[in-house]
Structure 1
Amino acid sequence: MEGKEEDVKLGANKFPERQPIGTSAQTDKDYKEPPPAPLFEPGELKSWSFWRAGIAEFMATFLFLYITVLTVMGVSRAPNKCASVGVQGIAWAFGGTIFALVYCTAGVSGGHINPAVTFGLFLARKLSLTRSVFYIIMQSLGAMAGAGVVKGFQPKQYELLGGGANAVNHGYTKGDGLGAEIVGTFVLVYTVFSATDAKRNARDSHVPILAPLPIGFAVFLVHLATIPITGTGINPARSLGAAIIYNKGHAWDDHWIFWVGPFIGAALAALYHQIVIRAIPFKARD
């Protein structure tokens, strides 16, 4: 009988039942809440992984601006909409590039490629202030480099076609533009939190593999909705890089919107995910 009981236990461990989904799956057996990242972590500055992550963010943002600005300019210079990929093609370029670059860099830096994403994750204490500032600086430099290479390829066309710089389009107010940037960035950062939720990763092994897909798709959808309003920023580094390299009046007129809006949207997404979806403050009291 003892042998049979051991066989039953072995079989139960070898062939576990399917993991339940929903609230029944949210137990402490498969997941432990990680401690919040320290606000300051000076030791990071001595780590090669810290600098490597910053370089990865620079390179990813450089490639992001290079591909997307070229796409925007290609649409702008076409004689008619049927002769180019159009607005849908621009949206696909942004979303598809983010999908590919997040997939490539997620294991090195987390694949932020966006100061708003970095800011949201910092508010959720997913990374230190030291790393957050470093990421934002490298993202901004990468964006400038990417837009600069595009201008170097075709300087006259770059100046003529606006260099992919963001601005609130005619027929919309600054309030419209700010609201579009807040909601658009909320959608993106909320998707980032949901797609990279460590508790979901502990329950569903396929989530880390699929994470870049919903993030890229969120970027695609937001661009479809807001290109007519602001050209779609939702990424302060992207807006800054294009504005600095183009450096003409309309690129700076509404530039504050493309920092304030994304940062507000990211903050709201972080609060919503931490307080409502994950209920972290309430768990801490238990």
Structure 2
Amino acid sequence: MNAYKKYIAELVGTFALVFIAAGSVCADFYLRQAGGQGLGLLGISIAFGVVVTAVIYATSYVSGSHVNPAVTISFWITKRMDPNTAIMYIISQIAGATLAGLALKTLFPDAVKTVYLGTCMLAPGVSIARGILMEFIISFLLIFTIYGTLVDKRASAGFAGVAIGLVILFGAMIGGIISGGAMNPARVFGPAIASGQFTHHYVWWIGPILGGIVAGFVYDKLFADSKKS
């Protein structure tokens, strides 16, 4: 039963993340369509960072608050998680992201074929390699921060959510104008499956997953103590 609690926590946490992060893009579109100023990149980035902070404080004691396949794969590769549990985490995350995408499709029908329910797309003129590199860098920074604050037992308790949320906020701001600043395959997958927009979708799997794997190895080799964190 405890294992199922973890999977449910990952599903609910990923649902919340995708619903708020992608939903803020939909809300921005509706506000602009009505003649308002909209949320803008800063407002969308703040929403993304704040929801991640909230999810960490709400579910980290249950599942560790991965809510991101790139995080789970990094833990798997660095032997912090067994394969079966990792696969169930990823399934739960994908399910939560899909449900969030379908909920947004119901609530924001005009955003389906316009902003594609907030799924990420490469900015005009941005190459695939450049998009992957951006997602790699900001995902590396995010997952490195997760290791240093949420995983490492030497870190000060209680500040992980804030630190990770800030990295998400700034990563979304910087990456937003190039690749959308997702740092999370599930963040893109949910809105993509609901809107049918899968152009260059692999960018948001390759970049974050590679960034997460490298972050895990770098942390283990250079910063972790002799006993696995």
The corresponding residue for 1:241 is: 190
Q: Residue 125 of structure 1 is aligned with which of 60, 66, 79?
A: 79
Quote the Cα distance in structure 2 between the aligned partners of 1:134 and 1:77. 36
What's the CA shift for 1:159?
2.8
1:199 CA drift (Å): 3.5
Report how far residue 277 of structure 1 moved: 1.3
C-alpha separation between the residues in 1 aligned to 2:142 and 2:152?
A: 18
Question: Partner residue of 1:138?
Answer: 92
**Structure 2: how far apart are the matches of 1:256 and 1:158?**
20
Letter in 1 for 2:199: D
TM-score by length of 1: 0.75
Cα distance, 1:66 vs structure 2:
1.3
**CA apart distance, 1:144:** 0.6
- Cα offset for 1:125? 1.7
Aligned-pair identity in percent equals 27
Compute the TM-score of the two structures, normalised by the length of structure 2. 0.93
Q: Report if aligned partners of 1:140, 1:238 keep a CA contact under 8 Å in 2.
A: no
The superposition leaves residues 62-97 of structure 1 with CA deviations (integer Å, 9 ceiling, x where unpaired) of 111111222111222333897122110110010000
Q: Residue by residue, what CA displacement relative to the aligned partner does 1:175-202 show, whole Å, maximum 9, x if unpaired? A: 110100100100100000000243414x
Q: Is the CA contact 1:68–1:90 (under 8 Å) kept in the aligned structure 2?
A: yes
Structure 2 unaligned runs (5+)? none
Cα deviations by residue, 1:31-90 (Å, 9 ceiling, x for unpaired): xxxxxxxxxxxxxxxxx1111100010011111111122211122233389712211011
Per-residue deviation, residues 231-284 of structure 1 (Å, max 9, x unmatched): 12210111111111010xxx322101111111100011001000111265xx89
Asked if residue 252 in structure 1 is aligned to residue 206 in structure 2, the reply is no
Task: Tell me if the contact between 2:7 and 2:88 (Cα under 8 Å) persists in the aligned partners.
Answer: yes
Report 1:223-238 matches (<5 A).
223-238=172-187
1:132-171 equivalent positions in 2, closer than 5 A:
132-171=86-125
The structure with higher relative contact order (CA 8 Å, sep 6+) is: 2
The structure that has the greater radius of gyration is: 1
Q: Which residue does the alignment assign to 1:192?
A: 146
- Structure 1: gaps (5+ residues): 1-47, 202-206
> Secondary structure of the residue that 2:157 maps to in structure 1?
helix
